[in-house]
């Protein structure tokens, strides 16, 4: 019999807390004892569909600690021999037959049983999401790169962290981990002033919880222990571990930068990634004399790109970046986004309009109190230290992984996980063109970002990283960046209307006013306006592949190219979804009106619901009519001329309340009237954009 492997996300989570580093972790305690063992709804559905299928399930026992000997004996006495138990929570992941599940349900030792449902909260999705895997597989890039995939090959990346476990096959010392250094400093142990010494060639330096090992896997793990599934962003990079151990002080990190500069030519060190910070340095302005800023400036001068995590103090609001050194104009500071385009609540924010200019070494720099960019940092699966944690860690590992990979990978969240994504992207860019300067790297990463609806630059920087567009810009210099929200002036209110939905959409950066401050809510929405609104407010990725439209101006072309490109939908990790606006050959018709059918397609496509819409193609469109508290599905009368392939989009738009319908009584039957080809006004679009935004997030 086939084993069904479906991962389940528990309400209860256990994460690793590593105080010195910018990694967000949460512990939720479980209340014990329940009179009846609960069967999860997805498990019940699986049992109903096939009563003979062997299933992967998660059993929660009554209790507050690890499963007891009696709990383990219960499993074995029922003939359940395949599974694992947690170390702190009363849970086991097992393979069981329906009969065994029934017996477990009837045991007073068991609290609940849930199906091991499949989800995509892992590094595999994050590398796809940002386009890193697309970079690895792009034939044109490979041709331009001498026949080799762009993978960060030969680019030295220092992981300035707690250390790296070089016994892990994904990060094997002597292979992709080209050097592993223990650099902890203990001034109290010295009796004289001596030059700093580094303990090199240490197979494993991560003995304090695995933070650095996890970070290193995100940068450039090979995925060897997962058949490539959890491959890092730049699997061809040469990793150099610089570990400071459990205690972390400024001096420890400074020696990491010192090591990078000293050994730059030996290991071609071009990137240093740093997932640490100081909560005691929150709310401070950039200090050019701070020793960390002096060290990173020296790296900058030597062509080394320095990447920092923004910090995990965002729940305290604005002005929470953990360190003035993360505001240095020559570093890249990274916020934590989830895999659906939302900023994590914990991700540290900057302060609006805070910044200034400084002159350093005779050159004027502008610093801003904001992250530079956002990258995936929430529920990231990456390499786990082989010891001391052992074979099992958090509940999320059971939820998110196959049992065979759990001894080698674990799940963590925080800007600590976001920063190494960017370090990996930098390695890809330098693989494509090693002559890039740190300024050029930072500019390209920011110019190729995807807008994040509802957020300000002081929260997310330029937006969500797009590795594919970044490497595309390196090779082809297409001129990305003209669609960025950071380059536009947004009003918080329109001069010609105080409509609530318009004001909401303006405040969330879903729409914009003209140069006179007017929105004109009663005017018809044009196709070019829709293109701009989708790029600024629906998270459509930048693309400059399709720029052949003869009726579109050069100024408007970047917006049109984005909405007519394949794979532009942010939530589409495959980068294969169809375009979000339809066109006719080399004509876009920018001044044409937008019908309800047109808008249905654009909005549903932007929600990444293409498959759901296609599944409804050709089916009769209905609307819900409510009479005396009872809902009835009634047929939409005027759907005859809607193309069959678009009916699913219209149905999903009606279901979301995008378009109100009128109800008529004809020949003893209630029917709905949509007017599907009626032009949409800008005011109507603002209302729909609000509904879209609330579902998007």
Beta-bridge partners for 180: 241
Q: CA angle, 650 as apex, 648 and 654 as ends, to 5°?
A: 115
Torsion of CA 575, 579, 584, 588, to 10 degrees: -110
Selecting among 416, 543, 577, 687, the annotated active-site residue is: 416
Helix (H) or strand (E) holding 596: helix 596-606
Contact 567, 576 (CB under 8 A): yes
Q: What is the rounded distance in angstroms from the CA atom of residue 459 to the CA atom of residue 351?
A: 8
Q: Compute the distance between CA of residue 88 and CA of residue 83 in angstroms, rounded to an integer.
A: 16
**Type and span of the H or E element at 39:** strand 38-39
Joined tokens for residue 124:
């595999």
Give the integer Cα–Cα distance in Å for 400 and 387.
21
Check residue 54 and report its DSSP letter.
-
Sequence-distant (≥ 6) Cβ neighbours of residue 183 within 8 angstroms = 198, 199, 242, 243, 244, 252, 255, 256, 259
Residues 171 and 384: beta-carbon distance below 8 Å: no
Gap between the Cα atoms of 596 and 680, Å rounded: 6
Give the integer Cα–Cα distance in Å for 611 and 332: 37
Helix (H, G, I), strand (E, B) or coil at 636: strand
Query: Which residues is 126 bridged to in the sheet?
Result: none
φ, ψ (nearest 5 deg) of residue 274: -130, 115
Instruction: Report yes or no: 426 and 270 within 8 Å, Cβ to Cβ.
Output: yes
Active site (annotated) includes residue 416: yes
Which ranges of 78-222 does DSSP label H, i.e. alpha helix?
98-105, 123-129, 132-137, 139-144, 211-220
Rounded Cα–Cα distance for residues 363 and 301 (Å):
12
Which residue's structure tokens are 């914990």?
A: 346
Q: Is 211 a residue of the active site? A: yes
Sequence-ordered list of residues with C-beta below 8 angstroms from that of 39, at least 6 positions apart, any chain = 47, 101, 105, 112, 113
Identify whether 319 is a catalytic site residue: no
SS3 9: coil
476 to 142, 234, 303, 357, 501: CA distances (angstroms): 13, 20, 22, 32, 41
Distance between CA atoms of residues 51 and 406, nearest Å: 28
3-state secondary structure of 421: helix
Using alpha carbons, list the distances in angstroms from residue 494 to 5, 204, 375, 511. 52, 59, 32, 11
Are the CB atoms for 392 and 135 separated by under 8 Å?
A: no
Q: Please state whether the peptide bond connecting residue 388 to the residue before it is cis, i.e. omega within 30 degrees of 0.
A: yes
Q: Which residues contact 276 (CB under 8 A, 6 or more apart)?
A: 20, 21, 22, 160, 161, 248, 253, 309, 416
Token representation of residue 252: 């420890």
Picking from 44, 48, 90, the residue whose alpha carbon sits closest to that of residue 66 is 90
Catalytic residue among 136, 168, 211, 421: 211
Q: Is the dihedral of CA 308, 313, 315, 318 positive or negative?
A: negative
> Would you state the structure tokens that stand for residue 642, as one six-digit string?
């809607």
Catalytic residue among 71, 138, 161, 165: 161
Torsion of CA 161, 167, 171, 176, to 10 degrees: 110
Active site residues: 161, 211, 416
């Amino acid at each position: 019999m086939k084993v069904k492997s479906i991962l389940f996300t528990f309400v209860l989570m256990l994460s690793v807390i590593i105080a010195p580093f910018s990694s967000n972790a949460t512990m939720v305690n479980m209340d014990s004892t329940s009179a009846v063992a609960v069967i999860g709804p997805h498990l019940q559905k699986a049992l109903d569909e096939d009563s003979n299928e062997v299933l992967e399930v998660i059993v929660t026992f009554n209790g507050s600690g690890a499963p007891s000997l009696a709990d383990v004996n219960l499993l074995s006495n029922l003939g359940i021999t395949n599974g694992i138990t947690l170390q702190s929570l009363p849970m086991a992941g097992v393979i069981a037959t329906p009969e065994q599940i029934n017996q477990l349900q009837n045991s007073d030792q068991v609290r609940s049983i849930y199906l091991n449902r499949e989800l995509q909260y892992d590094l595999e999705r994050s590398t796809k999401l940002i386009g890193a895997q697309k970079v690895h597989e792009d034939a044109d890039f490979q041709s331009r790169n001498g026949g080799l995939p762009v993978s960060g090959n030969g680019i030295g990346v220092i992981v300035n962290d707690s250390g790296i476990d070089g016994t892990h096959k994904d990060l094997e010392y002597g292979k992709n981990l080209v050097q592993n250094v223990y650099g902890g400093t203990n001034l109290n142990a010295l009796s004289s002033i001596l030059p700093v010494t580094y303990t090199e060639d240490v197979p494993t330096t991560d003995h304090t919880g695995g933070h650095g090992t996890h970070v290193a896997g995100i940068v450039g793990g090979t995925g060897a222990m997962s058949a490539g599934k959890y491959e890092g962003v730049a699997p061809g990079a040469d990793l150099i571990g610089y570990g400071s151990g459990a205690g972390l002080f400024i001096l420890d990190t400074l020696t990491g930068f010192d090591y990078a500069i000293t050994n730059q030519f030996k290991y071609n060190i071009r990137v240093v990634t740093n997932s640490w910070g100081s909560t005691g340095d929150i709310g401070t302005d950039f200090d050019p004399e701070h020793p960390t800023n002096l060290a990173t400036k020296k790296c900058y001068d030597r062509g080394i790109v320095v990447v920092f995590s923004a910090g995990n103090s965002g729940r305290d609001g604005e002005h929470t970046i953990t360190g003035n050194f993360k505001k240095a104009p020559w570093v890249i500071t990274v916020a934590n986004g989830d895999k659906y385009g939302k900023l994590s609540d914990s991700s540290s924010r900057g302060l609006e309009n805070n910044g200034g200019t400084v002159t350093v070494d005779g050159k004027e720099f502008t610093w801003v109190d904001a992250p530079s960019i956002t990258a995936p940092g929430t529920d990231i699966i990456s390499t786990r230290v082989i010891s001391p944690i052992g074979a099992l860690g958090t509940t999320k590992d059971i939820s998110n992984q196959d049992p065979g990979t759990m001894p080698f990978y674990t799940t963590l969240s925080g800007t600590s996980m976001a920063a190494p994504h960017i370090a990996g992207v930098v390695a890809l860019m330098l693989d494509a063109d090693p002559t890039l300067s740190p300024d050029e790297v930072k500019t390209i990463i920011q110019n190729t970002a995807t807008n994040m609806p509802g957020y300000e630059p002081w929260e997310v920087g330029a937006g969500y990283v797009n590795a594919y567009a970044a490497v595309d810009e390196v090779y082809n210099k297409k001129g990305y960046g003209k669609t960025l929200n950071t380059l536009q002036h947004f009003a918080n209110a329109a001069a010609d209307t105080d409509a609530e939905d318009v004001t909401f959409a303006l405040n969330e950066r879903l729409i914009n006013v003209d140069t006179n401050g007017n929105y004109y809510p009663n005017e018809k929405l044009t196709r070019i306006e829709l293109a701009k609104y989708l790029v600024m407010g629906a998270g459509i990725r930048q693309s400059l592949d399709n720029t052949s439209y003869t009726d579109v101006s050069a100024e408007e072309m970047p917006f049109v190219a984005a909405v007519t490109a394949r794979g532009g939908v942010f939530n589409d990790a495959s980068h294969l979804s169809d375009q979000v606006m339809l066109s006719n050959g080399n004509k876009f018709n920018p001044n044409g009106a937008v019908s309800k059918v047109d808008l249905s397609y654009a909005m549903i496509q932007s929600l990444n619901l293409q498959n759901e819409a296609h599944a409804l193609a050709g089916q009769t469109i209905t609307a819900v009519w409510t009479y005396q508290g009872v809902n009835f599905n009634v047929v939409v009368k005027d759907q005859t001329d809607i193309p069959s392939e678009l009916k699913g989009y219209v149905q999903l738009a009606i279901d979301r309340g995008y378009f109100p319908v009128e109800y008529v009584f004809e020949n003893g039957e209630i029917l709905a009237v949509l007017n599907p080809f009626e032009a949409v006004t800008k005011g109507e679009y603002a209302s729909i954009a609000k509904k879209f935004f609330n579902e998007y997030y």
